[in-house]
Structure 1
Amino acid sequence: MKYFKKILRYAQPYKGYAWMNIVSNVFYALFGTLAFVSLMPMLKVLFGNSEKITEVPQFNGIGDIGTYFEEYSNYYINRQIETSGELNTLMIMIALVIATFLLKNLFGYLAMYFITFLRNGVLKDLRNALYKKTIDLPVSFYSEKRKGDTIARITSDVLEIQHSFLSILELIIREPLMILFTIIAMLAISPQLTLFVFIFIPVSGLIISRIGKSLKRKSDRVQKEQGMFLSILEETLGGLKIIKGFNAERIFNRKFNESTSRFYKYSNSLINRQNLASPTSEFLGIVVIAILLWYGGSMVLVEKTLAPEEFIVFMGLAYNILTPAKAISKASYGVKKGNAAAERVLEILETESTIQDIPNATEKEGFNDKIEIQNISFKYEDNYVLHDFSLTVPKGHTVALVGQSGSGKSTIANLLTRFYDVNKGVISIDGLDIKTISQSSLRNLLGLVTQDSILFNGTVKENLLVAKESATVEEIEDALRIANAWEFVKDLPRGIDTNIGDSGNKLSGGQKQRLSIARAVLKNPPIMILDEATSALDTESERLVQDALEKMMKNRTSVVIAHRLSTIQNADKIVVLSKGKIVEQGKHQELLAKKGVYHSLVEMQSLA
């Protein structure tokens, strides 16, 4: 139940609906009991067993409520028979029964009406909290996580919480009250017969809890497997060209089929175990009803200590307990299933971000002097990818980082943007350690263009507004012109309002990259980080993109991670990395003259 209490926090804003639900459920349970009790006066008329009481009976306290109700109903019936006749009295009794059942169902509907707002409100807030946490957590959190598993937690796990945990909010009040009111009515009719009901409830509860013992483990397996096949689906949609290009459909079909087969097996095991609750509780209920029929029948027929109409109403009340008892037994299964889902959801919600702003972090407004990287070392897992690395980037300068793949170039971009934190050393801007600057204001100073053009399913305009939400159409068009993107955007069917498809797939690689550059230009940051922005382009696209980059970098401070060395010949400083260390640095011609590592890299690319 510890997870239930944590999830319950999200119901706080909707407590008004919870109170209305509770009030409605109290009346539902009350009229649900009275609906059966109201049958007794009618049955007395039918059996002709109404004792003639001519004076209004006296109420002698709560312990005498059963006798008082019986005597008062007899008094009322006899009075009605005398004034209206037996048939008219019967009609009044029938109207009373209909009225109590109507009120019971009306309050039942109202209870469902109010709980709907609470359940869907918690569902919305949980999903919003999960999505916010998904964005807030650092990039490193997802380096080993499957995307499909995160999607499953936000979708199906939250839905499971709604179906299981939040259904219990309803059962906590309604079903126990229904049982309580029914037992009070039964005790008023016959304490001896009620004893059997007290025996039945704990026995059935014990049996059902034994059946549901392994439900949490089984449910957890089902939800994890759901995350697995959603991951495969997400990977398939993202890599469809590769799958088709390599005729790998059979491999991915097999992976997906294996996952859904496991899901099928685990789901069958879980649902079959869950489905035991209803028939088990119903069978146990019928066993008790049979005992009641035998014992109560002997009280009516042999001992004559119980009137026939009392026995019939008692049997109705006994059966009235079965429905809430079944609901409570199913709810106990729901708790176990909900526990597994809540544990997975809370795992994300309660994960502390490893990259956080310090208290009273500095809100840095501009960039005035230099970026300084001082003796930093960094590792993603066990092995360091940067060792004692130092570099200074003065304001207005362009510094290029080159080297073989795996030399640590992109890692520096990740550290400057604080997607990761350094293990040793300090990165500072204008003498301020970036760990003391708020992440929001730090990233306001930075523009980022990556090797992979990350665009979203939306219009050209919507993709650029990610950088500056308040930008005007004129500012967007100016940014597109600087990025050499206006030439193709103006020819699109609806210009900047044209949808570019999932990940911008309606555009060519060069067009996507120029849109990414336009987005960075629109942000207009003082520092630009370009992570191999031209490495995946053809010669013509590279020329256009390179021209756009040069226009964008004019009068800015730029850190360029370069794969194609021809694009960084005009840099103020070129830093050559190998295995996380600086092996050479200088201008293009200086490094060529040294005939060292940089010269070898240029030679290899010119031969290619």
Structure 2
Amino acid sequence: MKIFKFVKEYIFKYKIQLFIFLIFSIISWIISIGLPYITGNYIDSLMNFQNRQTIIDFTIKILLMGIINIISSFVVSYSYVKVQTKSAIELNFKALEHISKMPILYFKNLDSAYLNQRINSDSNTLISFVLSNFLDILIRALTLIIVFYISFKINRKLTMILIPLIPLYLAIYFIFKKPLFKSGYELKEKQNKFFSKMNEQLYNINLIKLNSTFEESQKQLRTSFSTMFESLLKYTRISYIFSSSDSMTMIISQIIIFFFGGMEIINENLTIGQFTIIISYFSMIMGCISYYLNLGKSYQDALVSYNRLEEILNETKEINGDKRINSIDTIVLKEVCFSYDDTNNIIDNFNYTFKKGNIYGIIGQNGTGKSTFINLILGLFNNYYKGKIYYNSIELKKLDMYHIRKRIIGISEQEPALINDTIGKNVTYGIDIYNYDDIEEVLKSLNLDINKFQDGLNTNIYEAANNISGGEKLKISLARTFLKNPDMIILDEPTSALDVNSIEKLEFILKEIKKDKIIIIVTHNRDILDILDEIIDLNVVNSLNCEA
């Protein structure tokens, strides 16, 4: 089964817990098979030999089996939760890791809340399905064989009457197979989109408040709910018709067993104890058949999740090579072209060389491709550009840019992304080796007094960094870049939220460290142009289609 092959590596990581789960599941199953047989024989013993020892023996057996069953059930439930939760998280992480290494343009129109909800839901569905069923399929099959054999030995006629009911179950499954899959897939998609829309309400709360668009946002949410609700009702209708067939078959089966079983007792072909055994075993038989019938339904649900995860994991990863370098001396661009839509080039036939020891400025109007240009040389558009980009004479697509960006490139964005943690953790985020005393020093050099915060470096930054100013956020991002001490520094609008004094301090730092670094600054601020060694004006470059 392809679903089992897909998830086995995540489940088998926890072999000890899985082994415990299997052993105690088998113990519980053995007790469930043995208990009806012991009970039926006990009833016949009482009918034929009424003595206290029979009662005492039976009571002791039932007590021991009950205690063992309680312990086994607890261990099974506890180990199941451990394996299921850990395995689902591993599958979650696998999918998220794959997504994080997809081409950057994959995320252009991506609904992150929808995708997170989808991955989490599908991972849990798949792991739960396999963990619940891979042993159950075997146990239920053995149960059918054993109880059919015992029932056949007790009364052949009654057992043979029940066998024709099995094909009826199989026919029902094949009738509903495709409708269940289709409606299940549709429902999961609509649910994920609805939860995404709910998340959007909270994410855009500031926009909603500023524009007082409470009614409009509620209308969007209700529209999304209505679409999801229609899919839910459709799935419920199909699922109910499918499930109700199980109840009808059970009713028919009960009528058959009580009528013919009663007749066999009257004809003295069956004892009351044997009748109770057959009744109990018949319930097990119907439970097993019902399980296999519903297994088809749950398999279709799991197949939906499997296909949706496969869609994600089959997406092409971004190009990333395996060659590593320990320093960046030059970056050379030769006839580089880039377009978002394969028609109009944002970067067109671009040629340039960046050398260590210089500060470069990237200027240009909005839409001229400043951010695109930075993403190009960082290797974020490896799947899309034409031409050649070289780091130290090595082609960009052959380089392990994950390693290079982590180790020897430092980036401060125009709108810095900070994590929901302390100031200290944000400054050192992604940096493996640093001196703790240097954190306050680098913040001080950027005109940020850490003592103004009540808990200093241990001050927590809230979600969306709304408890610190834009300037403080930018300085934390700059401090992280300088603390990293990389070979190449890229600063996107580094002065946008800084006062005059802070800008002067930033300029001083850049001039001090530029000797052994390539520094690239994207800016609209004319005041910082004085420290630049070379300027790339993308307005001119793109209009002339020539070298910078």
Scaled by the length of structure 2, the TM-score of the pair is 0.90
Q: What is the deviation of 1:452?
A: 1.0
Q: What is the deviation of 1:582?
A: 6.2
Of 411, 434, 453, the residue aligned with 1:471 is 434
Q: Which residue of 2 aligns with 1:55?
A: none
* Alignment deviations for residues 420-443 of structure 1 (CA, whole Å, 9 cap, x no partner): 125221111222222222113421
Q: Which residue of 2 aligns with 1:460?
A: 423
**Judging changes above 3 Å, is the alpha-carbon distance between structure 1 residues 365 and 187 closer, same or farther for their aligned structure 2 residues?**
same
Which SS does the other structure have where 2:163 is aligned?
helix
Of 310, 316, 332, the residue aligned with 2:274 is 310
Which SS does the other structure have where 2:88 is aligned?
helix
1:424 aligns with 2:386: yes
Q: Which residue of 1 aligns with 2:342?
A: 382
Which SS does the other structure have where 1:578 is aligned?
helix
Q: Within 5 A, what are the aligned runs for 1:52-131? A: 86-100=51-65, 102-104=67-69, 106-131=71-96
**Judging changes above 3 Å, is the alpha-carbon distance between structure 1 residues 286 and 102 closer, same or farther for their aligned structure 2 residues?**
farther
Aligned counterparts of 2:221 and 2:410: Cα–Cα separation in 1:
39
Contact 1:22 1:173 in 2 (8 A): no
Aligned counterparts of 1:479 and 1:582: Cα–Cα separation in 2:
40
Q: Which residue of 2 aligns with 1:367?
A: 328
Contact 2:320 2:402 in 1 (8 A): no
Q: Within 5 A, what are the aligned runs for 1:179-578? A: 179-276=144-241, 278-302=243-267, 304-357=268-321, 361-368=322-329, 370-383=330-343, 384-421=345-382, 423-443=385-405, 444-485=407-448, 487=449, 489-535=450-496, 537=497, 541=499, 544-545=502-503, 547-552=505-510, 554=512, 555=514, 556-578=517-539
Q: Which residue of 2 aligns with 1:8?
A: 8
Q: What is the deviation of 1:8?
A: 2.6
Q: What is the deviation of 1:86?
A: 2.2
Q: What is the deviation of 1:103?
A: 4.5
Aligned counterparts of 1:26 and 1:238: Cα–Cα separation in 2:
49
Letter in 2 for 1:457: N
Aligned counterparts of 2:375 and 2:438: Cα–Cα separation in 1:
29
* Alignment deviations for residues 397-450 of structure 1 (CA, whole Å, 9 cap, x no partner): 122122221112211100111111252211112222222221134212221111
Contact 2:364 2:539 in 1 (8 A): yes
Q: What is the deviation of 1:97?
A: 4.6
Contact 1:574 1:585 in 2 (8 A): no
Q: What is the deviation of 1:102?
A: 5.0
Contact 2:172 2:242 in 1 (8 A): no
Q: What percentage of aligned pairs have identical amino acids?
A: 20
Q: Which residue of 1 aligns with 2:33?
A: 33
Work out which of the two has the higher radius of gyration on C-alpha atoms and give 1 or 2. Answer: 1
Which SS does the other structure have where 2:350 is aligned?
strand
Letter in 2 for 1:204: Y
Which SS does the other structure have where 1:320 is aligned?
helix
Which SS does the other structure have where 2:318 is aligned?
coil
**Judging changes above 3 Å, is the alpha-carbon distance between structure 1 residues 426 and 294 closer, same or farther for their aligned structure 2 residues?**
same
* Cα-Cα RMSD: 2.7
**Judging changes above 3 Å, is the alpha-carbon distance between structure 1 residues 195 and 503 closer, same or farther for their aligned structure 2 residues?**
same
Q: What is the deviation of 1:14?
A: 2.7
Which SS does the other structure have where 1:293 is aligned?
helix
Aligned counterparts of 1:584 and 1:478: Cα–Cα separation in 2:
45
Structure showing greater relative contact order (alpha-carbon pairs closer than 8 Å, 6 or more residues apart)? 2
Contact 2:362 2:522 in 1 (8 A): yes
Q: Which residue of 2 aligns with 1:62?
A: none
**Judging changes above 3 Å, is the alpha-carbon distance between structure 1 residues 307 and 233 closer, same or farther for their aligned structure 2 residues?**
closer
Aligned counterparts of 1:104 and 1:196: Cα–Cα separation in 2:
33
Q: Which segment drifts farther, 412-421 or 262-271?
A: 262-271
Q: Which segment drifts farther, 344-353 or 475-484?
A: 344-353
Q: What is the deviation of 1:343?
A: 2.1
Aligned counterparts of 1:247 and 1:412: Cα–Cα separation in 2:
38
Q: Which residue of 2 aligns with 1:76?
A: none
Aligned counterparts of 1:585 and 1:528: Cα–Cα separation in 2:
25
**Judging changes above 3 Å, is the alpha-carbon distance between structure 1 residues 23 and 143 closer, same or farther for their aligned structure 2 residues?**
same
Letter in 1 for 2:12: Q
**Judging changes above 3 Å, is the alpha-carbon distance between structure 1 residues 94 and 278 closer, same or farther for their aligned structure 2 residues?**
farther
Q: Which segment drifts farther, 522-531 or 228-237?
A: 228-237
Q: What is the deviation of 1:120?
A: 2.2
Letter in 1 for 2:25: N
Q: What is the deviation of 1:578?
A: 3.0
**Judging changes above 3 Å, is the alpha-carbon distance between structure 1 residues 228 and 542 closer, same or farther for their aligned structure 2 residues?**
farther
Q: What is the deviation of 1:242?
A: 2.1
Q: What is the deviation of 1:518?
A: 0.9
**Judging changes above 3 Å, is the alpha-carbon distance between structure 1 residues 561 and 285 closer, same or farther for their aligned structure 2 residues?**
same
Aligned counterparts of 1:195 and 1:114: Cα–Cα separation in 2:
39
Q: Which segment drifts farther, 188-197 or 386-395?
A: 188-197
Aligned counterparts of 2:44 and 2:191: Cα–Cα separation in 1:
59
Scaled by the length of structure 1, the TM-score of the pair is 0.82
Letter in 2 for 1:438: D
Unaligned runs of 5+ in 2: none
Aligned counterparts of 1:550 and 1:202: Cα–Cα separation in 2:
84
Contact 1:34 1:100 in 2 (8 A): no
Q: Which segment drifts farther, 540-549 or 398-407?
A: 540-549
Letter in 1 for 2:338: F
1:158 aligns with 2:119: no
Aligned counterparts of 2:21 and 2:242: Cα–Cα separation in 1:
26
Aligned counterparts of 1:412 and 1:239: Cα–Cα separation in 2:
29
Letter in 1 for 2:147: T
